A and B are shown apart, each in its own frame.
Chain A
Amino acid sequence: MSDNHSVIGRSVPRIDGPEKVSGAAKYTGDLKFPNMLYGKILTSPHAHARILSIDTSEAERLPGVKAVITHKDVPTLKYGLSPARWDESIFCSDKVRFVGDKVAAVACLDEDTCYKALKLIKVEYEVLPAVLDFLHAMDEGQPQVHEEYARNINTEIHQEFGDVEKALAEAHHVRTDTFVGQRTYQSPIEPHSAISMWDGGKLTIYSSTQSPHYFQHYIAREFDMPMGDVRIIKPYLGGGFGGKLEPTGLEFAGAVLAKLTGRPVRTFYDRAEMFAHNRGRHAQYMEITTGVDKNGKILAAKANFLMDGGAYTSLGIASAYYAGALLPLTYEFDNYQFDMFRVYTNLPACGAQRGHGAPQPKYAFESHLDNVAADLGIDPMDIRIINARRPNTVTPNDFRVNSCKIKECLERVRVMSDWDEKKKNLPLGRGIGVATGSFVTGAGYPIYRTDLPHAAAFIKVCEDGTAATLYTGSVDIGQGSDTVLCQMAAEAMGYRYEQMKIVAADTEITPLDFGAYASRQTYMSGAAVKQAGEEVKRQVLEMASVMLGLPAEDLDCADGQIFSKSRPGKSLSFEEVARKHFVLRGPLLGRGSYTPPKLGGNFKGAAVGTSPAYSFGAQVGEVAIDEETGEITVVGIWDVHDCGKVINPRLLHGQVHGALYMGMGEAVWEEVLFDDKGRIKNAELANYRLLTAVDMPPITSEVVDSYEPSGPWGVKEVGEGATNPTLGMFSNAIFDAMGVRVNSLPLSYEKVWRALKEKREREEDEARRKPEARRAEAPLETDGAMPVYANPS
């Protein structure tokens, strides 16, 4: 393909850089409005309890309190993000279902008064037995979280493609492993907040949201308003990672408080409340069975999963489907069975977190595949290359894959990491592991049923042509979409990035876009932006044709210059042509929209995981384990991605680094912990264990030369996909270093130490019983290519 682009493919600086480094960038919590009140939500102290009475009278009498609301003051309509299970209420009316469930709210003159007022609301509870262990949530006799969902089953999935039992029966080797993934939290640094205000019948909400459109839709639905009377504005957003995709209750409560008081109301969560709201990664139990031929080619796979959904559905039905749907994407096999239960528990609800559903199943499958490779004596890199998906193939669950360079990614990361040399020579306690990942480039279907386009864009060229403004509903949550979309607009128009402006994510000004989730914006919003830019360019060239007296087909425009293809020297500046266009024909505008083609099969759940394009990647990590303490030192990480055409290389690698960072945290340190009453024990960033700059190892990231035919200029995603291999990669590197596998996340120092201790005791025991036999046998779970781990004592 040709690569004669003037704007895309360059590491231009972020369009919002100066505002962000100078402190000028205003996030939702930084905004102030005249007469503004502060709102706080009262939450449940119990994991499961019946509400017997709520007395707000004392709180209402406190000076400075302007409104106190409970379930009696708000719409009773249930809401949620996933329309298949709307099970949340603005405030609980009958019972609370987790510590942190919403009970009432106050609006006050200042923050201090809010906290005093919350303490004065008297709620009488009858504490009920709670279900806190998801592994037993479906057992007979367990407390019911929601009466209408028997045995606490929120979602049940059973899918089979091909003939799994036949393929397993014919396989050379069949192996089953089980793994457990932990509950993690997105932990964006900016806390959630919203400011709600009414102007007559019109509601405006400034919100820290990843999708103004979904907010607008759900708020209009909840308050039975036309969408046109709801305006959602996203100021600068301090990270999301999936955690700011859905209504939190802050905006519903804030809207009601603002209505009652007639004043703007700012509602917000503190850090502990963010953890309680959660919507992070589900804890998950994963059993995987795979049958392979003697060369390690996968013939069939079975996944049997159980997910801890917490008290509400959130986006969890999609998470449950994603967990299984993306599993047959990276490797090719025809026979696949997926069984899943997502269960309710009396814990905060789980939802979509970077890599939505995929990272933990990938951890399980990638660890399992290493075990299979060890059983057969195949190099872990080789077994992945043998099974790697090829371009222009279809998965057993009907996902069409166009571009795919997973094999090239593996081959490249093998060289970069010096895999072959290290695999042979690393000393005891040092290990190297590989894993792969793949992800959707935008979800093929919207979250709620609608025929609206997934993305749309306008471009308005300034009257004198010296600037152009892109209007988009897309959301820059830090990933850099404002920058890359301006690059794409400029490229399509033949204009200069440096003269681009952007207005984004304001439902009243910008056209609809579903927002920042499922790694969709560069591809889907980019497609709409490209179309809008091309419409501008066509009009500019038509006007230039009149001005130059040359046919429009002979003209082209790049980097702000219009030129004749046949007659060098015949040129005009974009500015003068744009100005003339305004004088003669009125505003110079371009419009674009994007709707994906119909995707996927016809079976139940076929829509989840469909995407017009899939990204692929491979990672290698090297670790050193301290045998005495279990401490894991990460020596280095190498990452190679197939993400199609790269629009902004530095921003892209920033996404990879961030994804690796999040994956590394989840692999070794991060975990939300609860006590036996369902209260979070570590609802702060220090004890949740976010990694600091000194914890991060050297990272080397590269991309393979790739082009996705369905995407604008050949783009695909990278932001979430780069998280998918990381957990499995660490699992395999630690396995390689120790010769034993830790089967649950996080792969903490303590678990590593215990695994080593158990292995040592097992070996000592064996040595005492059969000294000769021990020398002759290879240890059970040791990779064939590894030196045999021995107890140094």
Chain B
Amino acid sequence: MAQAITDKDGVKRYLITLNVNGDAHTVLVKGNAILTNVLRDQLDLTGTKKGCELGDCGSCTVLLDGKPVDSCLVLAVEADGRQITTIEGVAANGRLDEIQQSMINHAAVQCGYCTPGMVLSAKALLTRNPNPSEQEVREAISGNLCRCTGYVHIVEAVMATAQGRVTPDDH
């Protein structure tokens, strides 16, 4: 259990360590703080978006120990000591991941607000299932709402990445 500190008004705060994208951050959070807000407000990792705070839209998706979760439904204290990947941790050494490049090449990005969550859901799918069917892709991203694309190019981008070609045929 994380160390608790009580302030003069009697409000308890917890000292937790979040392992985010390979870096350990020790932060003081209230018991009801959601992971989304801690990532965005305390760690300045604003790539994790807030769209509904109800787990409906998936914009705040992060990987928790490799699994995609809505970070608005995760209390920060629950993530204490666990491995978190946010969108800022997907590209490595300034190089975009294949799924990110494929999303660009396939025009799977429009307003881009759902894109970080979408990339993480797709990344988690491809890690556990490198050769998904189209239906499996659709199911894997069904928790990520996109209001712009109709999902057509997003599904294409994920399928293409699985098949090792990040550039569409009509390019």
B35 within 8 A of partner (CB)? no
CB pair B57–A189 under 8 Å, yes or no, is: yes
B24 within 8 A of partner (CB)? no
A75–B137 Cα distance when bound, in Å, is 52
CB pair B96–A188 under 8 Å, yes or no, is: no
B120 to chain A, nearest CB (A): 10
CB 8 Å contact bits of A38-76 with B (1 = contact, 0 = none):
000000000000000000000000000000000000000
CB pair A658–B148 under 8 Å, yes or no, is: yes
The interface stretch among A231-239, A459-467, A549-557, A775-783 is A231-239
CB pair B150–A189 under 8 Å, yes or no, is: no
Interface centre among A236, A237, A661, A693 (most CB of B within 10 A): A693
Which residue in chain B gives the minimum CB-CB distance to A11?
B171
CB 8 Å contact bits of B125-148 with A (1 = contact, 0 = none):
000000000010111011111111
A560 within 8 A of partner (CB)? no
Which residue in chain A gives the minimum CB-CB distance to B9?
A63
CB pair A25–B154 under 8 Å, yes or no, is: no
CB pair A271–B51 under 8 Å, yes or no, is: yes
CB pair B113–A21 under 8 Å, yes or no, is: no
A760–B59 Cα distance when bound, in Å, is 45
A234 to chain B, nearest CB (A): 12
Name the interface residues of A191-241: CB closer than 8 Å to any CB of B: 191, 236-239, 241
A605 within 8 A of partner (CB)? no
Given A657-B150, A658-B149: A650 in contact with B141 (beta carbons within 8 A)? no
A21–B120 Cα distance when bound, in Å, is 10
A349–B3 Cα distance when bound, in Å, is 49
Residues of A within 8 A of B154 (CB): 693
CB pair A650–B47 under 8 Å, yes or no, is: no
Name the interface residues of A653-712: CB closer than 8 Å to any CB of B: 653-654, 657-662, 684-686, 690, 692-694, 696, 699
CB pair A21–B138 under 8 Å, yes or no, is: no
CB pair B142–A238 under 8 Å, yes or no, is: no
B111 within 8 A of partner (CB)? yes
B13 within 8 A of partner (CB)? no
Q: Which size bracket describes the interface of A in this complex?
A: 35 or more
Residues of B within 8 A of A187 (CB): 147
B125 to chain A, nearest CB (A): 12
CB pair B138–A188 under 8 Å, yes or no, is: no
A480 within 8 A of partner (CB)? yes
CB pair B51–A189 under 8 Å, yes or no, is: yes
A25–B54 Cα distance when bound, in Å, is 23
A23 within 8 A of partner (CB)? yes
A239–B47 Cα distance when bound, in Å, is 16
B59 to chain A, nearest CB (A): 6
A190 within 8 A of partner (CB)? yes
B72 to chain A, nearest CB (A): 11
Name the interface residues of A636-664: CB closer than 8 Å to any CB of B: 649-651, 653-654, 657-662
Residues of B within 8 A of A749 (CB): none
B7 within 8 A of partner (CB)? no
CB 8 Å contact bits of B39-69 with A (1 = contact, 0 = none):
0100011111111111011010000000000
CB pair B149–A23 under 8 Å, yes or no, is: no
Cβ-defined partner of B155 (8 Å) among A239, A479, A649, A693: A693
Which residue in chain B gives the minimum CB-CB distance to A652?
B107
CB 8 Å contact bits of A1-43 with B (1 = contact, 0 = none):
0000000000101101111111111110110100000000000
B38 within 8 A of partner (CB)? no
CB pair A17–B109 under 8 Å, yes or no, is: yes
Which residue in chain A gives the minimum CB-CB distance to B140?
A693
A239–B87 Cα distance when bound, in Å, is 20
Secondary structure of the B side of the interface?
loop
A450–B41 Cα distance when bound, in Å, is 42
CB pair A239–B147 under 8 Å, yes or no, is: yes
Residues of A within 8 A of B115 (CB): 20-21
A478 within 8 A of partner (CB)? yes
CB pair B170–A649 under 8 Å, yes or no, is: yes
Which residue in chain B gives the minimum CB-CB distance to A187?
B147
Residues of A within 8 A of B152 (CB): 653-654, 657, 696, 699
CB pair A478–B50 under 8 Å, yes or no, is: no
CB pair A13–B104 under 8 Å, yes or no, is: yes
CB pair A189–B116 under 8 Å, yes or no, is: no
Which residue in chain B gives the minimum CB-CB distance to A274?
B52
B103 within 8 A of partner (CB)? yes
Residues of A within 8 A of B91 (CB): 22
CB pair A690–B150 under 8 Å, yes or no, is: no
CB pair B150–A23 under 8 Å, yes or no, is: no
Interface centre among B45, B46, B144 (most CB of A within 10 A): B46
B84 within 8 A of partner (CB)? no
A190–B45 Cα distance when bound, in Å, is 17
Cβ-defined partner of A650 (8 Å) among B101, B106, B112: B106
Given A11-B170, A649-B170, A661-B149: A478 in contact with B106 (beta carbons within 8 A)? no
A126 within 8 A of partner (CB)? no
A270 within 8 A of partner (CB)? yes
A488 within 8 A of partner (CB)? no
Given A20-B115, A236-B112: A189 in contact with B59 (beta carbons within 8 A)? yes
A24 to chain B, nearest CB (A): 7
Residues of B within 8 A of A191 (CB): 50-51
CB pair A22–B96 under 8 Å, yes or no, is: yes
CB pair B139–A23 under 8 Å, yes or no, is: no
B17 within 8 A of partner (CB)? no
A190–B50 Cα distance when bound, in Å, is 7
Cβ-defined partner of B46 (8 Å) among A20, A23, A684: A23
A137 to chain B, nearest CB (A): 31
A786 within 8 A of partner (CB)? no
CB pair B87–A23 under 8 Å, yes or no, is: yes
A544 within 8 A of partner (CB)? no
A16–B51 Cα distance when bound, in Å, is 20
Cβ-defined partner of A14 (8 Å) among B56, B109, B116: B109
A241–B107 Cα distance when bound, in Å, is 19
Cβ-defined partner of B138 (8 Å) among A11, A651, A694: A694
A659 to chain B, nearest CB (A): 8
CB pair B52–A685 under 8 Å, yes or no, is: yes
A485 within 8 A of partner (CB)? no
A504 to chain B, nearest CB (A): 14
Residues of A within 8 A of B109 (CB): 14, 16-17, 20-21
CB pair B110–A480 under 8 Å, yes or no, is: yes
Which residue in chain A gives the minimum CB-CB distance to B86?
A23
A632 within 8 A of partner (CB)? no
Residues of A within 8 A of B106 (CB): 650
A655 to chain B, nearest CB (A): 8
A710–B89 Cα distance when bound, in Å, is 47
CB pair B149–A241 under 8 Å, yes or no, is: no
A26–B45 Cα distance when bound, in Å, is 11
B26 to chain A, nearest CB (A): 20
Residues of A within 8 A of B48 (CB): 23
A353 to chain B, nearest CB (A): 12
Interface centre among B48, B57, B105 (most CB of A within 10 A): B57
B48 to chain A, nearest CB (A): 7
A274 to chain B, nearest CB (A): 9
CB pair A16–B112 under 8 Å, yes or no, is: yes
Cβ-defined partner of B112 (8 Å) among A32, A238, A694: A238
A556–B147 Cα distance when bound, in Å, is 43
Binding site for A on B (CB under 8 A): 40, 44-54, 56-57, 59, 86-88, 90-91, 96, 100-101, 103-107, 109-116, 119, 135, 137-139, 141-155, 168, 170-171
User: Lowest 3 A-B CB distances belong to which pairs?
Assistant: A23-B47, A478-B111, A238-B113
Binding site for B on A (CB under 8 A): 11, 13-14, 16-27, 29-30, 32, 186-191, 236-239, 241, 270-271, 477-480, 649-651, 653-654, 657-662, 684-686, 690, 692-694, 696, 699
- What would be 24 A-B contacts, judged by CB atoms less than 8 Å apart? A11-B107, A16-B109, A17-B103, A19-B112, A22-B88, A22-B100, A23-B45, A30-B40, A188-B111, A190-B51, A238-B113, A653-B107, A653-B153, A654-B152, A657-B150, A658-B148, A661-B151, A684-B52, A690-B145, A690-B147, A693-B146, A694-B138, A696-B138, A696-B151
* Known interface pairs A32-B44, A650-B168, A653-B107; 4 further A-B residue pairs with C-beta atoms within 8 A, sorted by A's residue number: A21-B100, A189-B59, A271-B56, A657-B153
